[in-house]
Chain A
């Protein structure tokens, strides 16, 4: 239960180094991709409700914009560091590239504890952030979005501040806004839906019949609940188990996803669902299912339990649910692991759609959002799968290679390297 100190940016750089070696990137491209292209650090004075002034430190990083304006969230966290933001900005660069969005990667952060801030103070902080970053963000430069502890309301304040500064209507400067201010339909289930589409594609190439096949969802939060509902609706999967922080439920004959979602909303937990046997979070991983959706936490699939997994497809809706060692074990077992930054890229894709709709000032119906998301995710899977076959490497590595190759190509075409 101790917390190992690690530097996320060092890990991100290692991943680039490994990919660069596989792709045989030249030194200059490799070096360019190892570092953020632009970093901005700002000091924000913010008036508090009691009349005092507090000083907050803020960051915004445009990691790479060779493929388009930077895209990435703004995190509000008391332990925020420049290196965390750098690493996350790098991962955003690969994520937008793997789904082939015409965007780069970026990230921002404010060192603050939102649990200590009133709504008024949050608003003043959001506006202060935009004032400091106004010269650097914009629809053609860098488009922030919600992230850890930043909400659609905060995005709305940020957008309003930006528009006040530039004196024009620019809803696309921020995504993740409330619907009434130019948010996109379909954002709520976008992450899960994207995961469902790539699962469908993975099953097709793996000759896995999903009709009536059992699925389990570990982590029955927003993404997990939607994965269960959409898995049933789109893929014809049968939900047999689901769990959350308070435990899990299992019924090999099947559980109605809609009924379980209803039960969870009413009671706050999946346990106690009628007709299902109770199981632990650990047990759910080892169930005989075709598809497993780890949708909650990091490092739940580890070397000590990876052998127990019986699923054919493991679709990582959570960030980093599988440790590297477990990844290797699953690879050896022949489990198809859909890596997180491909499987959960549906969210950023719909954020991109929001930008597009804002630019056109024309808003799509839900069906159109779904159709376009399907197309993007399917194409992304195909590219990654093709890379995987060509190089005989797991999908996770293939996804990195696809993404980094795309960014490298853009840098080359621009004549940067």
Chain B
């Protein structure tokens, strides 16, 4: 199969390394030209509507799973289709076709148009193709790497984990790579194509000592190519998974109750994602169901807290050149010095709040409608020395790694689950703790931030965010942060 890899395109030097794409809707006999796209949009708007768009998607994936040192399965495939949306006020009509056959695309456009049954036809604007600068130009996509080489990456992770310690009894690893292309065409004239690579390596290790069995895992990736593994070798992930499993062999029951919590740099960004991120997605605020409704301009966190959603971090898992509604996103300051500045908008919420869309409209696939979503959600670095932060705690928790988090948007309660954490006693890390849940309330927890480290770190790409049944890849990052008080859900009273 022909696979375009990072060939030069056009005279614009900024896009010199932009991949041209292989999707049938951008190349070959089924390529969608502006005229055909406009015809489809015209059909979608034949009963009226404020806006309509087409979302073409092509997704080629390749995955490998290794169990206990042996490749168990090779998988992969191609998925392709187009979603058609008609917007009338805040109402959405949606349909999709799983092919580029004209008849099926027209049927989808007609189905979507039913939402606006009463109105008169609306003519779409002429489309103009946009050239978008890529924040994830990839030389060699992992999905195109030959199978034997991909198997080797897994084997290296597997070997490193086993070699780490004799107590490591089992290792499982997987490698998933995707080449995704989208083409968004809108009734207000956008015609935008994006190539979105993705890679992810995961390693899980089982350690046993006597009767006790524990697991540890490590993983990472992003919108990156094979070069990801230069900086983050499979060996690093293998050893890291083994290290966590061994640490957990010595873990003891975590305390229960409220106490100071120090969040380590990087992965702890999951706290932001849950504690404030979701509550600032504008759909919840438009519907007045978020506890951040009507809070713009008001203090919602400690003055030390500045939170940004930044879609343009090179190679990060949550980055986007263009969102799924054809809007070029921008870095977006949500909270500045503790004051709430802005929500994250898709087109519908932006229209409602009379703001510019922030480029936060995302969707899982052409089978799904867009919603305001996060990209890479970050807390900016502060002034404190991380060592001082830990030293300042008499008795509390130091949180390092997490399995995930969840928030109740309406009341702001959030949890996140630790997979590696330590007790802090008299300013020193002492015993590792058994997996435990931390629970807090978004605004209350962020008011408890009393120290912010200068050690900002981005989490290595592993997070997937779920909302209304749709999963999208996201990034998080933050420095070491001290919360004066948070509820720790251990078993020891």
* Bound pair (A, B): no
Binding site for B on A (CB under 8 A): none
